């Protein structure tokens, strides 16, 4: 069955690969599944046709036959459960890999997104610098705990898994902040993720959309 | 195999059932699995023995034989996958229920937690009221989208599932804010969750810890 995902017609990040369709593309590339992409304008994302697929009017969505999903976390897990390559076979190791998916999305990502929301919504407020330093403190606490757990391992629990795919994707949002440089093992971990051929193919595919839009 | 979870020795919410062990207790009650609870002081949560189980020094954790998990989202999903009662049998319906778990934790919960963080960390700042209104705006946008999707259904997608368990748990954090009253179908949805016998048993169990501590 054909897999169709949705993505931004013009990504707000200018092709840095931070939009969440990137995580789905990466997962599909890891497991070797082809997919189609339907591009959406910001206007189209808020129209009934898309809201029927995604009640919060965002991207990505995932359609495969009769199935429609709309949370990138659930989509990546779905792909990982259906195809070999993103979850270990051992039952307990599999549960631990899924645990890291949730750790990436529920524990690490919220303060990292807060930094972006603060910049976007409060960048012109008198309190911005003081509040930003509070948010950075919360991010550093999480990075420090994660760094301690990772140690000198290549991946969070044995072989590369969907948990690493999500964690690397979350940490990539800090690229350019300089914060990852404070934790050399996390920097190296993210670089290992970016060096994977599947990551590169996914990155190039999302960038090609932008290039086509700007020259089209 | 015995299931052991960890919980606060003295819950910061005073027994309102908002600590995340409640979600795990509720899931275990729904599927009829007994469990042991190990109570932790705030000090013990930051000590090496607990950090080995939970790298971010929080509760709950879940131990079952050789398996140890530490994210409540992953723990509830693990319970739902191992025991009947929290996920539909149909493959696509199952994927959609898991999608709602992620929607609860990744889309709904972050702005709701932001409100609590703002109150806790910024309640005494000059900017508090102005920033709080921004956070409340983000929460209302999500509630409005969720309310539109739920409509007059009892649960998010067919029968009660782990997705509803997580969504109700997340929305319960707004109890007392008055915000749920603005969306009568969401208020009724949360009330349906709280009325489930398994929810009540879990609630009473977490409250009993507090009562024992205060009279002990």
Residues A81 and A67 both lie in one domain: yes
| CB contact (8 A) between residue A110 and residue B110 | yes
A53, closest residue in chain B (CA to CA): B149
Rounded CA gap, B72 and B49, in Å?
19
Closest by CA position to A99, among listed B187, B140, B79, B39:
B79
Whether complex ipTM tops 0.85: yes
**For testing the chain B interface, which of A98, A163, A169 should be mutated: the one with the most B CBs within 10 Å?**
A98
Rounded CA gap, B9 and A152, in Å?
34
Residues A126 and A172 both lie in one domain: yes
Residues A101 and A28 both lie in one domain: no
Q: Is A210 exposed, middle or buried (0-12, 13-18, 19+ CB in 10 A)?
A: middle
Domain coverage including residue B126: 91-196
B67-70 contacts, C-beta under 8 A, 24 or more apart: B67/A92, B67/A95, B67/A96, B68/A96, B69/A95, B69/A96, B69/A99, B70/A99, B70/A103
User: Which helix or strand (DSSP H or E) is residue A39 part of?
Assistant: strand A36-40
Q: Which positions in chain B touch A95 (Cβ < 8 Å)? A: 67, 69, 74, 78
Nearest Cβ partner for B99 among A70, A105, A148: A70
Q: Which positions in chain B touch A75 (Cβ < 8 Å)? A: 99
Rounded CA gap, A128 and B36, in Å?
45
Rounded CA gap, B74 and A98, in Å?
6
Provide the domain count of chain A: 2
Rounded CA gap, A204 and A22, in Å?
10
Residues B116 and B32 both lie in one domain: no
Closest by CA position to A108, among listed A77, A76, A132, A141:
A141
Residues on A contacting B at a C-beta cutoff of 8 Å: 51, 55-57, 66-75, 77-78, 92, 95-96, 98-99, 101-103, 105-107, 109-110, 113-114, 121-122, 125-127, 130-131, 134, 142, 145-146, 148-149
**pLDDT digit of tens for each residue in chain B (216 aa)?**
899 999 999 888 888 999 999 999 999 999 999 999 999 999 999 999 999 999 999 999 999 999 999 999 999 999 999 999 999 999 999 999 999 999 999 999 999 999 999 999 999 999 999 999 999 999 999 999 999 999 999 999 999 999 999 999 999 999 989 999 999 999 999 999 999 999 999 999 999 988 887 765
Residues B73 and B38 both lie in one domain: yes
| CB contact (8 A) between residue A114 and residue B109 | no
Residue B186's domain is classified under what CATH number? Answer: 1.20.1050.10
List, in sequence order, every beta strand (DSSP E) within A54-185.
62-64, 67-69
């Amino acid at each position: 069955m054909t897999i169709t995902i949705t993505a931004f017609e013009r990504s707000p990040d200018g092709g840095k690969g931070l939009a969440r369709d990137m995580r789905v593309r990466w997962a599909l590339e890891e497991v070797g599944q082809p997919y189609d992409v339907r591009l959406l304008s910001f206007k189209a994302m808020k129209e009934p046709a898309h809201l029927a697929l995604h009640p919060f009017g965002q991207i990505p969505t995932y359609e495969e036959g009769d199935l429609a999903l709309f949370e990138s976390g659930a989509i990546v897990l779905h792909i990982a459960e259906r195809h070999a390559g993103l979850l270990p076979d051992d039952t307990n190791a599999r549960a631990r890999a899924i645990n890291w998916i949730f750790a990436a999305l529920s524990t690490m990502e919220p303060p990292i997104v807060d930094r972006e929301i603060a910049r976007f919504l409060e960048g012109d407020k008198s309190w911005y610098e003081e509040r930003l330093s509070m948010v950075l403190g919360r991010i550093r606490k999480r990075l420090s705990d994660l760094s301690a757990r990772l140690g000198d391992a290549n991946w969070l629990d044995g072989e590369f898994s969907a948990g690493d795919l999500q964690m690397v994707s979350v940490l990539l949002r800090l690229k350019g902040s300089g914060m990852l440089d404070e934790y050399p093992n996390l920097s190296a971990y993210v670089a290992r993720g970016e060096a994977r051929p599947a990551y590169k193919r996914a990155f190039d595919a999302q960038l090609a959309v932008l290039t086509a839009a700007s020259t089209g």
